[in-house]
């Protein structure tokens, strides 16, 4: 055997098990595996889970707060305006360096699969995409990265963007992105969605849009997107990020939209760190959280996940480590997750639920699957979140990628 992880605790399984790895895959899971492997890891009763998936990230923008002016208003609009200046000066090399740093941060924290939106527009052209494509290539030994062609500046109000979107797909983007609420009229927003479906169907690609990332209750792109998904028979292949306006709709309209989302099989991504910081800036109390209706969506049977979204950029300039346990802790407070079953669902979000959204094959700790798992310094998922547990070992496809072990001591006078 290439590797055996001894005395591992698995979610939903009584007792401890050994996990044998051969040729990058899980060969066997048993209460006791005889013999020795080339690499032996003693989990010592700690929790072993699949490696994390970050389903919503912006690698092209990450870390630019280190070099751009301050977002004084703290608003989404000013954040975008600051990025305009930065995008004009982007270099491919700069994007490679920043994206690689963040991927490495994520791997250290146990994330080995990422989906990153990358700006495609007339300002930066395809430089951001080319940079992140190169970072993906350079990090192929430690991570899998899906890329979304993201028209943040709109499509109709950014002439030439539609052509750039197709070029992005030809270059190697995997998913068609969108931001329909960033158009001048409701009709334009609907046409924006239509164009995204046209491109997606040309390339047999999934769709992942930023939708209604605003406090404005009149922003209602989600309803049209859900109806369009049903009409195009694209169920299960569409995801939406943010949907902040849904959190402010009246309960009757919200229920109608959620029902459509469920029928459309749309995956919903909440990004609590960024949206808690950006939304509600014009509220004078009570200040809205700015998040989507996570509990209502879950109750309706919708697949809901969370993502890091931004880190050290103009939207979220100070915080972020590309750590899914940190984002989960923030989400738990914002969504008011308290009970054990809710914490279990919280842990599903960056694992099995995100794997479902990205349509990953062979995900999970089962014989025959790729051997990609974390050994956490905790025995329950609740303790993992509460203590922000060390990722003692991060293993991907049978290869040990990272180790972290924090130590501390108290010295008392007696």
**What does 202-227 look like in DSSP terms, one character per residue?**
HHT--EEEEE--SS-TT--HHHHHHH
Distance, CA of 183 to CA of 212 (rounded, Å): 11
- Helix axis angle, 186-203 relative to 161-171, nearest 10°? 30
Active-site option among 153, 162, 183, 213? 213
Distance, CA of 79 to CA of 360 (rounded, Å): 33
Residue 237 C-alpha from the chain's centroid: 16
Determine if the peptide bond prior to 19 is cis (ω within 30°): no
* CA-to-CA dists, residue 385 to 3, 132, 157, 254, 381, angstroms: 28, 30, 43, 30, 6
Of 378, 306, 403, 383, residue with least CA distance to 348: 306
Task: Work out the burial of residue 288: count CB atoms within 10 Å of its CB; fewer than 13 is exposed, 13-18 middle, 19 or more buried.
Answer: middle
**What does 297-328 look like in DSSP terms, one character per residue?**
HHHTT--EEE--B-SSSSSS-S---S-HHHHH
Instruction: Give the neighbor-by-neighbor strand order of the sheet with 399-403.
Output: 48-50, 373-376, 391-396, 399-403
213 is catalytic: yes
Q: Could you list the active site residues?
A: 213
């Amino acid at each position: 055997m290439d590797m055996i992880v001894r005395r591992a605790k698995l979610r939903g399984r009584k007792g401890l098990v050994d996990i044998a790895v051969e040729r990058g895959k899980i060969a066997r899971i048993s209460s006791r595996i005889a013999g020795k492997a080339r690499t032996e890891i003693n989990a010592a009763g700690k929790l072993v889970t699949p490696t994390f998936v970050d389903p919503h990230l912006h690698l092209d923008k990450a870390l630019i707060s280190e070099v751009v002016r301050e977002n004084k208003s703290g608003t989404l609009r000013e954040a975008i305006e600051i990025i305009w200046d930065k995008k004009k000066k982007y270099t491919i090399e700069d994007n490679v360096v920043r994206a690689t740093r963040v991927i490495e941060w994520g791997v250290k924290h146990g994330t080995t699969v990422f989906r990153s939106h990358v700006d495609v527009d007339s300002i930066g052209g395809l430089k951001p995409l080319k940079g992140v494509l190169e970072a993906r290539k350079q990090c192929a030994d430690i991570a899998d990265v899906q890329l979304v062609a993201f028209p943040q500046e709109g499509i109709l109000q950014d002439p030439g963007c539609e052509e750039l979107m197709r070029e992005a797909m030809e270059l190697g983007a995997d998913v068609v992105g969108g931001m329909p609420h960033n158009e001048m009229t409701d009709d334009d927003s609907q046409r924006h969605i239509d164009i995204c479906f046209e491109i997606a169907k040309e390339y047999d690609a999934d769709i992942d849009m930023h939708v209604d990332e605003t406090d404005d209750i009149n922003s209602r792109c989600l309803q049209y997107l859900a109806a369009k998904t049903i009409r195009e028979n694209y169920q299960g292949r569409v995801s939406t990020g943010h949907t902040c306006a849904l959190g402010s709709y009246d309960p009757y309209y919200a229920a109608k939209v959620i029902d459509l989302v469920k029928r459309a099989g749309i995956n919903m991504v909440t990004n609590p760190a960024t949206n808690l910081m950006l939304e509600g800036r014009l509220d004078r109390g009570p200040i809205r959280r700015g998040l989507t209706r996570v509990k209502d969506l879950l109750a309706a049977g919708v697949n809901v996940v969370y993502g890091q979204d931004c880190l050290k950029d103009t939207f979220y300039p100070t915080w972020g480590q590309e750590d899914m346990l940190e984002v989960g802790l923030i989400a738990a407070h914002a969504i008011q997750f308290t009970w054990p079953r809710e914490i279990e669902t919280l842990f599903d979000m960056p694992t099995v639920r995100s794997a479902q959204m990205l349509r990953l094959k062979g995900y999970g700790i089962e014989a025959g699957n790729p051997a990609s798992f974390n050994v956490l310094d905790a025995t329950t998922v609740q303790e993992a979140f509460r203590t922000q547990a060390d990722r003692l070992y991060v293993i991907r496809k049978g290869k040990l990628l990272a180790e972290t072990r924090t130590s501390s001591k108290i010295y008392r006078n007696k």
